[in-house]
Amino acid sequence: MQLPPSSVLAIDHVGIAVTDLDAAIEMYETGFGMRCVHTEVNEEQGVKEAMLAVGDSGSFLQLLSPLSDDSPIGRFLDKNGPGIQQMAYRVSSIDDVSAHLRSQGMRLLYDEPKRGTAGSRVNFVHPKSAGGVLVELVEPGPEGMGHEDPTPDAVRAG
């Protein structure tokens, strides 16, 4: 069984674990000219995160800072230090793609998708099933990422 080509739409984002979210946002904005388009705290995932637009490509850089040392990102930082934590693919239907991957013997981390950034639905493919890479599947929320406040200073300060 092959997944229709229109099921995986794009590279949605690359997730980077950081210890200091504000400093990382500043570095990517001033050093690379990226624009922070969204920040939020995701208690369920144990992170404070920021999404930075990569030009007009429709792809993002996701900066992830742990809410605690025992969160997945906290453990990642402890083991590996700052750096690339995952690659995310934007999909048309997370349910269809997840079912297909499972039919191919791939291991997904969650039985059902979880809430992701900006109301998206997400799941992860275990690195042992994806060539050593933690792959995130992202079905965008109804508003997507383009409708966010481009300068969320109040959120950053919180």
| Model confidence, pTM | 0.85
AA identity, residue 13: H
Partners of residue 3 on adjacent β-strands: none
Q: Catalogue all structural domains in the chain, each as residue range(s) with its CATH number.
A: 10-142 (3.10.180.10)
Q: How far apart are CA 73 and CA 68, in angstroms?
A: 8
Owner of token pair 């109804």: 142
More confident residue, 100 or 3: 100
Q: Model confidence at 148, in pLDDT bands (50, 70, 90)?
A: very low
Confidence at residue 153, expressed as pLDDT on a 0 to 100 scale: 33
User: DSSP label at 114?
Assistant: E
Q: How far apart are CA 52 and CA 63, in angstroms?
A: 8
Confidence at residue 129, expressed as pLDDT on a 0 to 100 scale: 96
Q: Judge whether residue 140 has pLDDT over 50.
A: yes
Work out the percent of the chain whose per-residue pLDDT is above 90.
Answer: 82
pLDDT-wise least confident of 53-57, 77-81, 145-149: 145-149
For 3-44, what is each residue's pLDDT tens digit? 777 899 999 999 999 999 999 999 999 999 999 999 999 998
Q: Judge whether residue 157 has pLDDT over 90.
A: no
Q: Judge whether residue 108 has pLDDT over 60.
A: yes
Q: How far apart are CA 55 and CA 79, in angstroms?
A: 31
Confidence at residue 6, expressed as pLDDT on a 0 to 100 scale: 80
What is the chain's alpha carbon radius of gyration, rounded to the nearest angstrom? 15
Evaluate whether 104 touches 18 at the Cβ level (below 8 Å). Answer: no
For 64-90, what is each residue's pLDDT tens digit? 999 999 999 999 999 999 999 999 999
AA identity, residue 114: K
Confidence at residue 150, expressed as pLDDT on a 0 to 100 scale: 31
Confidence at residue 158, expressed as pLDDT on a 0 to 100 scale: 33
Nearest in space to 40 (alpha carbons), one of 94, 105, 115, 114: 115
End-to-end CA distance of the chain: 47
Q: How far apart are CA 50 and CA 60, in angstroms?
A: 10
